[in-house]
Amino acid sequence: MSKQLWDVEEVPPPTGTDGRQLTERGARTRERLLQAAETVFAALGYHDASIVKITDAADVAQGTFYLYFGSKQQIFDELVMDLNRRIRRAMSEYADTATTRADRERLGFQGYFRFAAEHPALYRVIRQAETVSPHILKEHYQRISRGYVTGLAEAMEAGDIATSDPEVLAWMLMGIGEIVGMRWILWGETDVVPDEVFDQMYLFVTRGMGTGPDR
Amino acid sequence: MSKQLWDVEEVPPPTGTDGRQLTERGARTRERLLQAAETVFAALGYHDASIVKITDAADVAQGTFYLYFGSKQQIFDELVMDLNRRIRRAMSEYADTATTRADRERLGFQGYFRFAAEHPALYRVIRQAETVSPHILKEHYQRISRGYVTGLAEAMEAGDIATSDPEVLAWMLMGIGEIVGMRWILWGETDVVPDEVFDQMYLFVTRGMGTGPDR
Amino acid sequence: MSKQLWDVEEVPPPTGTDGRQLTERGARTRERLLQAAETVFAALGYHDASIVKITDAADVAQGTFYLYFGSKQQIFDELVMDLNRRIRRAMSEYADTATTRADRERLGFQGYFRFAAEHPALYRVIRQAETVSPHILKEHYQRISRGYVTGLAEAMEAGDIATSDPEVLAWMLMGIGEIVGMRWILWGETDVVPDEVFDQMYLFVTRGMGTGPDR
Amino acid sequence: MSKQLWDVEEVPPPTGTDGRQLTERGARTRERLLQAAETVFAALGYHDASIVKITDAADVAQGTFYLYFGSKQQIFDELVMDLNRRIRRAMSEYADTATTRADRERLGFQGYFRFAAEHPALYRVIRQAETVSPHILKEHYQRISRGYVTGLAEAMEAGDIATSDPEVLAWMLMGIGEIVGMRWILWGETDVVPDEVFDQMYLFVTRGMGTGPDR
DNA sequence: AATGAATGAGAGTTCATTCAT
DNA sequence: TATGAATGAACTCTCATTCAT
């Protein structure tokens, strides 16, 4: 397997609201706030989350928040992009253990479901973005799709799956992963996708891509 | 084609907050509020929409709102269920014109996309539900899935598509429809799904279900 | 004496923040807020006055404030214009009792000093306007000057005072009135301008205008 | 002409908040802060100016401020007294070039107007003092008045102007200068007092003092 | 059925000031 | 001497909701 599918970019060093570089202490506080935000947004949703609740959870004073983030929106956006990077990393880690190309998508799904199970914030936070920060939501899907497209195009060229528009395919795979994760992980009794469901899903996907068991 | 796929139930006559039957005038006012809410929620999202804005748009006094709805949540929930009924009706209307069973899903997708194009509120409002009213969101998906399941089970029995768990299949179809609609209608330049995309999508779906061109 | 020097315009009926006409009850509340604002601004100055303090003084809830005024600025501006109308009315009432034209300015000064003595708000509030709302301050002086100009032009035409630019003269009279009022009323021990001071001032003014005792 | 009218006192060497003498570097920083304060207060007014903005303008850290000034008030007061010294110096410089006693007041006015034109801070800052630091405002006027009184008393004794209470006269001259400067310099199109206006004003003043052209 | 004035809790945000480094 | 992170009280303003008319 050549390179990583979701080749996750490095993050630039964080700055304060005024644009200045942070001391180590500052960076630590900022990180605490970001973690608190994840918890609070996941538990309460964007509206109902409040800056007081975030600073309480981070155990800093209200005013401190504004040293690092300009507004509730801004920390939200940052959190979404942070989650996005972590999902892609999770998917990469799984997918890159594949020994055959055909296994890649399967492992990608598993990475995604695993991450979703461990981070309830994922759905609660990201779906909010639709109205809170539409452009960030777009960005989120696009970044994931990009990774898929790369891998799918390769697979098509190698003749492993039927040739088609890799972008359409990529979005469909995301749509499937998202709704299955929501239905069986977020709303399910267990926090994994049951094996029979996974298998049915995967059968559908491979058939759809033109790599069924018949191939 | 036997019966409707999304057999949409009748709605009971609306009542006021106090539970009493409404006069005709009252029913009209209530309707005005519901329409105003759709506009306002779609334009601003749940948090940013406010009851003043809704009553302003409906051209009634603030107090009047509470004669018909108990809270902001409640009108939101009602709106979601209303949209849900209308989508299912739209999907049914399309699907029921199918002359062959195989055409049903295709037409169902088209009904959905058409509705999405005409009602931008769909995504903006329904995705909000994730945090505003989780149980309503669940209800929304379940009702649509139910229609799919009925039709898919029938088709499997008739041998038109490969046998599998119709529920898993139903959810995947929803997931695909939702994300494709978002990507190409909500975010696309045109407000229809381009033909090539639709075809690629449909090819994937039919292959996945085991009804490809090869059948 | 022909007509009034400071012919004070009528005020339009007050409206709420949303532009709607007020009920009688609303008008009363609005008035209460305006009076409270005068007291509070006079006692504390613009910065140190707060909306809580104003609503407390008016004995209404904080939110009520915003039914009638859009911001602290706005109630301040309104208050300045209100004081301005009242000063001009006070000056008019005095000046219009004059039996000889020569007496008019004397009585105008007295009207002004009397008003200043009774309304400590005058200086505290109006001088603030310099930075809070420069254009309102300008308006304030211009309206008073306009009344002066009318009277002075008349007097010049009648040959009662030496001919000169009535506007320059008007502003000087205001400047004198303002600083004398500040020095002897606002900062003085008594709250009237001592007779000897008033006489000295008036002698200076009449000589300056070319209507000394020598005329 | 005997001595200076506004004989401006020397300022004691500045100290830090802790009362200790400053090093040369400290004195420089303190000076930078004072200059930044003039700019910021003039541009924004007392309330809207903030210590962050002052320290930003002075390019020092927030904490540094408190090494030199105890509070926002304190730097404001110091700034007012600084401006006051500079005005008096400006007036003196002009007045002391007078060759005849009668010319003194004329030149004093010109010095004042020139200073006002060059320092818009003058009005914006000093008028603030009304509520920020009433006693400082009083002090400001009194110091200027003192210079006037000295000169006017001398002139009366010499028979150059009519005898009267020099204090009343002094305050009136200040009032005139202030309002004319505001009307024609601060609010005027040009930043000088137009010649005709100045002449009208000066004619009024000389007549009022009993030194008209008729003398 | 409809109004609109009134409420008050709570939101986001700013800012003078302190203090460890 | 200088820094800049941290504080927390106070501010302006919004809003869902109640209630007398």
CATH of the domain at C39: 1.10.10.60
Residue A3: the pLDDT is 55
| Contact (CB<8Å) A124/B131 | yes
Same domain, D23 and D34: yes
Chain A hits for B204, CB-CB cut-off 8 Å, are: 164, 168-169, 172, 208-209
Residue D62: the pLDDT is 94
Give the span between the Cα atoms of B15 and B27, in whole angstroms: 8
Could you say which of C165, C178, C203 has the minimum Cβ distance to residue D200? C165
Same domain, A102 and A190: yes
Which structural domain range is residue A157 located in?
Answer: 72-209
Q: Measured from the CB, is A142 under 7 Å from any atom of strand F?
A: no
Residue B84: the pLDDT is 94
Residue C130: the pLDDT is 81
Same domain, A177 and A112: yes
Same domain, D142 and D165: yes
- Which secondary-structure segment (H or E) carries C126? helix C121-132
Looking at CA atoms only, how far is residue A196 from chain B in angstroms?
9
| Three-class DSSP category at C141 | helix
| Three-class DSSP category at B147 | helix
| pLDDT, tens digit, 9 for 90 and up, residues A66-123 | 999 999 999 999 999 999 999 999 999 998 898 887 788 899 999 999 999 999 788 8
Same domain, C30 and C117: no
- Nearest DNA or RNA nucleotide to D66 (CA to C1'): E17
Same domain, B80 and B162: yes
Q: In angstroms, how far is F6 C1' from D57 CA?
A: 22
Q: Measured from the CB, is B135 under 7 Å from any atom of strand E?
A: no
Residue B7: the pLDDT is 74
Residue D199: the pLDDT is 96
Check residues 33 to 52 of chain B and report those whose beta carbon is under 7 Å from nucleic acid strand F: 48-52
- Segment C119-129 shows an average pLDDT of 84
Same domain, C83 and C109: yes
| Three-class DSSP category at B15 | strand
Looking up residue A81, the CATH number of its domain turns out to be 1.10.357.10
Chain D hits for C179, CB-CB cut-off 8 Å, are: 141, 171-172, 174-175, 178
Looking at CA atoms only, how far is residue B37 from chain A in angstroms?
16
Residue B103: the pLDDT is 83
Same domain, D47 and D76: no
pTM of the model: 0.85
Chain B residue set in contact with A, beta carbons under 8 Å: 44-48, 123-124, 127-128, 130-132, 138, 141, 164-165, 168-169, 171-172, 174-180, 183, 187, 196-197, 200-201, 203-205, 207-210, 212
- Segment C136-149 shows an average pLDDT of 94
Confidence of residue C212 (pLDDT cuts 50, 70, 90): very low
D93, burial (CB in 10 Å: exposed 0-12, middle 13-18, buried 19+): middle
Same domain, B136 and B172: yes
| Contact (CB<8Å) B179/A183 | no
Domain assignment of residue C120, yes or no? yes
Same domain, A22 and A99: no
Which residues of chain D are modeled with pLDDT < 70? 1-4, 212-215
| Three-class DSSP category at A20 | coil
Domain assignment of residue C104, yes or no? yes
b/e sequence D4-41, b meaning 16+ C-beta within 10 Å: bbbebeeeeeeebeeeeebeeebbebbebbbebbbebb
Chain D hits for C174, CB-CB cut-off 8 Å, are: 179
Q: Measured from the CB, is D71 under 7 Å from any atom of strand E?
A: yes
Phi, then psi, of D172 in degrees rounded to 5: -65, -40
b/e sequence C18-57, b meaning 16+ C-beta within 10 Å: eeeebeeebbebbebbbebbbbbbbeebbbebebebbbeb
- Rounded to the nearest 10 degrees, what angle do helices C195-209 and C166-180 cross at? 170
Average per-residue pLDDT for chain B: 90
Chain A hits for B123, CB-CB cut-off 8 Å, are: 130
pLDDT at B213 over 50: no
Which residues of chain A are modeled with pLDDT < 70? 1-4, 212-215
| Contact (CB<8Å) D165/C197 | yes
Check residues 54 to 73 of chain C and report those whose beta carbon is under 7 Å from nucleic acid strand F: 62-63, 65-66, 71-72
Phi, then psi, of A197 in degrees rounded to 5: -65, -45
Per the structure, the count of domains in chain A is 2
8 A C-beta contact, residue A92 and residue A7: yes
Same domain, C144 and C176: yes
Residue C1: the pLDDT is 45
Give the residue with minimal CA–C1' separation from F1.
Answer: D26
| pLDDT, tens digit, 9 for 90 and up, residues B135-149 | 999 999 999 999 999
In chain D, count of helices (H) and strands (E)? Answer: 9, 0
| Contact (CB<8Å) D172/C179 | yes
D28: Cβ–Cβ under 8 A, 6 or more apart, which residues?
A: none
Residue B70: the pLDDT is 93
Domain assignment of residue D214, yes or no? no
Same domain, C131 and C181: yes
Confidence of residue B3 (pLDDT cuts 50, 70, 90): low
